[in-house]
Structure 1
Amino acid sequence: MKADVRLILTADGSHTAVNQVLDKTYHSIHGAYQESQRVYIELGLLPAFEKFPAQPLSVFEMGFGTGLNALLTAREAQATQRMINYTAIDAYPMPLDQARQLNYDELLDTSYLVKLHESPWGEPVAVNPFFTLTKLETRLQKVNVEEQFHLIYYDAFAPTAQPELWKTEIFQQMANLLLPGGMLTTYCSKSYVQRNMRTAGLTVEKHPGPPHKRDILRAIK
């Protein structure tokens, strides 16, 4: 089933989508690009490159959505010539006709966005020589992957819309998906989210967020 979405421009000129059923945006209205770059690239991917320098990096994304996080990661893989195997899940993908209207390639001087969205589900696709994407159309609670990951981008909708995705049991599942020393980054820094992460055995760090967001989280196994 496809998501019911409409596109809007955020404050930094990049698009986000609004899920019409949940009445929630996929990214911050204060800047979709700025948020993703800060939360997932600066706080997650770049430190993971330093922490795991000798091997291809395995990244898991909860919430493929607009494809922005995957696009930024593919861009970084190309720029640094670091191999990344990227697995993303989404239970309700964006319709392709709307995904093609997103302005990220124009804004970021990239050329991967359409390929990210048009790549078949359940099959690895080489988006560029350094970035391989595997998309899974499934709910997080039903995800079945055998590998473990160096890094998780946790980009579920806000707890007010999907409280079931911010519980201790989910973070225990995420901890099991992480390799030792692996990291999870997310935009949500609510106290009970931090507590649930710690109960799941993760070490939680608060870091400064993007514009209009005081704190974001990095959790380490």
Structure 2
Amino acid sequence: MKREIMTTGDGSKTIHMPELNEQYHSKHGALQEARHVFIKMGLQHFLESVTADLKSIRILEYGFGTGLNALLTAQYPTSCKVDYTGVEAFPITNDEIEAMDYGSMLNDIALFSSLHQAIWEQQETISDQFKLTKRQLKFEQIDFDNSFDLIYFDAFGPRTQPELWSLEIFESAYKALSNTGVLVTYCAAGQVRRNLQEAGFQVERLPGPPGKREMLRGRKVV
């Protein structure tokens, strides 16, 4: 399938697949979307909601993709150590990594490179605060139990790949989270919200990133 490099509304790049009319990040702004959905509504919200002195946080990303969400998380100013697992069935190519140029845009070329140079299927220490494990898995192969505090759900949209947003996928995500764990996603489709609720999540609609009215955040309820 043909893949093209696309410049989004905020000047950051993404990968576009014309046959599907789908891209890895919002065409309105890849960087804006990632910061709003996954950092502000996900990581920042979770850290601010914890009352105890949190020493570490475990994050699972469905769709490691370009590494943008991991890069922003690794840059986030916190004393809390991050143990990050990114799941990706089809890793992007070296040429695509170079074309994204997120390291230059976010003033840390070395950090962005280290995320992509990390060996798959083993934990790598990226910095004193950030450890990364990249797993080459399809979403239906994910099988974790009470292993994560926060999930970034960043799959291709349900219009093109509805199977990635199924009840079964969200039941697996619910199982993977610790008690009171949180899942965030850019998608606010009605069926996605209902599937999250049926899987056990307490779901709230939130203001979306530029170009999108709403997004969803789910909390594990036990």
On the 8 A contact 2:146/2:178 being kept in 1, the answer is no
Structure 1 residue 100 corresponds to structure 2 residue 78: no
State how far apart, in whole Å, the 1-side matches of 2:173 and 2:12 are. 29
Say which SS state the counterpart of residue 85 (structure 2) adopts. strand
On the 8 A contact 2:142/2:172 being kept in 1, the answer is no
Structure 1 residue 124 corresponds to structure 2 residue 123: yes
State how far apart, in whole Å, the 2-side matches of 1:144 and 1:121 are. 17
Partner deviation per Cα, 1:156-208 (whole Å, 9 max, x = no partner): 00001111111111111110011111100001101111111111110001110
Bigger mean CA deviation after superposition, 198-207 or 113-122: 113-122
On the 8 A contact 2:146/2:175 being kept in 1, the answer is no
State how far apart, in whole Å, the 2-side matches of 1:155 and 1:166 are. 10
Following superposition, the deviation at residue 20 of structure 1 comes to: 5.6
State how far apart, in whole Å, the 2-side matches of 1:123 and 1:18 are. 29
Q: How many residues were matched structurally?
A: 217
Give structure 1 stretches of 5+ with no counterpart: none
Bigger mean CA deviation after superposition, 182-191 or 115-124: 115-124
Say which SS state the counterpart of residue 203 (structure 1) adopts. strand
Give structure 2 stretches of 5+ with no counterpart: none
On the 8 A contact 2:33/2:209 being kept in 1, the answer is yes
> What corresponds to 1:66 in structure 2?
66
Query: Once the two structures are aligned, what percentage of the paired residues are identical?
Result: 39
The residue correspondences of 1:7-26 to structure 2 (distance < 5 A) are 7-19=5-17, 22-26=20-24
State how far apart, in whole Å, the 2-side matches of 1:205 and 1:187 are. 12
Say which SS state the counterpart of residue 188 (structure 1) adopts. coil
On the 8 A contact 2:145/2:175 being kept in 1, the answer is no
* TM-score (ref. length: structure 2): 0.93
* TM-score (ref. length: structure 1): 0.93
Say which SS state the counterpart of residue 80 (structure 1) adopts. coil
The residue correspondences of 1:142-153 to structure 2 (distance < 5 A) are 142-145=141-144, 148-153=147-152
Following superposition, the deviation at residue 5 of structure 1 comes to: 3.0
Amino acid at match of 2:82: I
> What corresponds to 2:49 in structure 1?
51
State how far apart, in whole Å, the 2-side matches of 1:97 and 1:118 are. 13
On the 8 A contact 1:34/1:210 being kept in 2, the answer is yes
On the 8 A contact 2:54/2:80 being kept in 1, the answer is no
State the Cα RMSD in Å: 1.6
State how far apart, in whole Å, the 2-side matches of 1:119 and 1:169 are. 30
